[in-house]
Structure 1
Amino acid sequence: MEQFDIYNSRKLKNGELGVRGTPLKNGQYRYVVRVIIFNLKGDKVLIQQRQASKSSWPNFWDFTAAGGLLAGESLAEGAGRELFEETGIVYDFSETPSRMTVRFYEGWSEIFLIQRDIEINNLKLQNSEVQAAKWVSEPELLKLINTGKFIPFHYAKNIFDYLRFSGETNFGG
């Protein structure tokens, strides 16, 4: 039974725990972490294809790794755990701030962006969650989005812009 901390609207823990799969009550929120890896050149992003057995967005392409925080876990710990569980990549997020926060119906998604060159063959994909992974360029990502094969995050079409802004490249390399 996977448990997580419940937060109020001001992002403060309320002392209660939620259970994965159990809907939250009105005024209760939770955190999800998402890790997006770009290559060092900044011209490709690592994406994964969700398993057909997933209850939400089966077979859709998604960014590198994501999942809900566990009870007592920090954002950095959750990002590291999810990245390792889904891809086998070890990364210490303790000195890496999240790059953006996105509100969703049950809470907040904290998004971490890093740059690393990783060989697809070296990934250890979590079979229960991920069926494939690949590097894609911005045009390739846009094609997946526009053909309805990528989860329709409102920021997905512009994710490469975060690398193009002055001073924003090579973070967490």
Structure 2
Amino acid sequence: MDEWVDVLDQDGRQTGKSILKSEAHLKGIFHPTVHIWFFTSQNEVLLQQRAQTKKTFPGLWDVSVAGHTVAGEKAKQAALREVREEIGLKIKAGDLIPVGIFKSVQHHENGILDCEFHHTFLCELRQPLSSLGIQEEEVADIKLLALDQWEMDLFSNGNNKVYVPHEGSYYRDVIRAIRRNL
């Protein structure tokens, strides 16, 4: 679905302009997104397998919940909306633990140029996995994986091809933040 997103400058500051997401991806215009990483008290991380119909990284495992911030929307509002849409979970703004804002530029073979600032949060998952419902247009599957196993997968040679290729520093920051909050 195409939607309006806010235009950001190279440093992530609002420009006061909006653009269609499809145009931002075509022209490589910076815009905001949200990433929400769910973790459990048993040292697990919730991973989402992207639907096969996704235009970027179909079928790869990725952040628990992610999405675009629509024009005029605050990051926490977008995070709450995306969590509800993608995994059917209602959380409160106070449940979100800020990790940081990460600049990301990814060139895709299909012509998409993702220039985004990921507003990244953690949230403790207190519900059983079976109570979550996935948005099938966006999500093929979800699973819990031991944090140590996930970290080993990400940084071992070869096995990391099943995960969306975010910067190593991004993944390290998320893993450190999860460990601090266990």
- Per the TM superposition, whether the score is higher than 0.5 is yes
> Could you say if the C-alpha distance between residues 104 and 10 of structure 1 is closer, same or farther in structure 2, counting changes exceeding 3 Å?
closer
> Could you say if the C-alpha distance between residues 138 and 99 of structure 1 is closer, same or farther in structure 2, counting changes exceeding 3 Å?
same
Report the TM-score, using the length of structure 1 for normalisation: 0.84
SS of the aligned residue for 2:93 comes to coil
Structure 1 unaligned regions, length at least 5: none
> Could you say if the C-alpha distance between residues 23 and 159 of structure 1 is closer, same or farther in structure 2, counting changes exceeding 3 Å?
closer
The answer to whether the aligner puts 1:159 opposite 2:174 as a matched pair is: yes
Tell me the CA shift for residue 95 of structure 1. Answer: 7.2
> 2: distance between equivalents of 1:163 and 1:3?
32
SS of the aligned residue for 1:78 comes to helix
Q: Which residue of 2 aligns with 1:120?
A: 129
Tell me the CA shift for residue 162 of structure 1. Answer: 1.9
8 Å CA contact 1:4, 1:30 repeated in 2: yes
> Matches of residues 1-173 of structure 1 in structure 2 within 5 Å?
1-23=2-24, 28-41=29-42, 43-93=43-93, 96=96, 98-105=98-105, 106-142=115-151, 144-145=153-154, 146=156, 147=159, 148-153=161-166, 154=168, 155-156=170-171, 159-164=174-179, 168-169=180-181
8 Å CA contact 1:76, 1:92 repeated in 2: no
More strand by share: 2
Structure 2 unaligned regions, length at least 5: 106-114
> Could you say if the C-alpha distance between residues 86 and 61 of structure 1 is closer, same or farther in structure 2, counting changes exceeding 3 Å?
same
CA deviation string 1:21-45 (max 9, x = no partner)? 113657x42111000011124x100
> Could you say if the C-alpha distance between residues 46 and 7 of structure 1 is closer, same or farther in structure 2, counting changes exceeding 3 Å?
same
> 2: distance between equivalents of 1:96 and 1:124?
20
8 Å CA contact 1:61, 1:151 repeated in 2: yes
> 1: distance between equivalents of 2:104 and 2:76?
19
Percent identity for Structure 1 against Structure 2: 22
Partner amino acid for 2:91?
Answer: Y
Aligned residues: 165
Report the TM-score, using the length of structure 2 for normalisation: 0.80
Tell me the CA shift for residue 50 of structure 1. Answer: 0.5
8 Å CA contact 1:39, 1:118 repeated in 2: no
8 Å CA contact 1:80, 1:91 repeated in 2: yes
Tell me the CA shift for residue 8 of structure 1. Answer: 2.3
SS of the aligned residue for 1:126 comes to coil
What's the RMSD between the two structures over aligned residues? Answer: 2.2
> 2: distance between equivalents of 1:95 and 1:38?
12
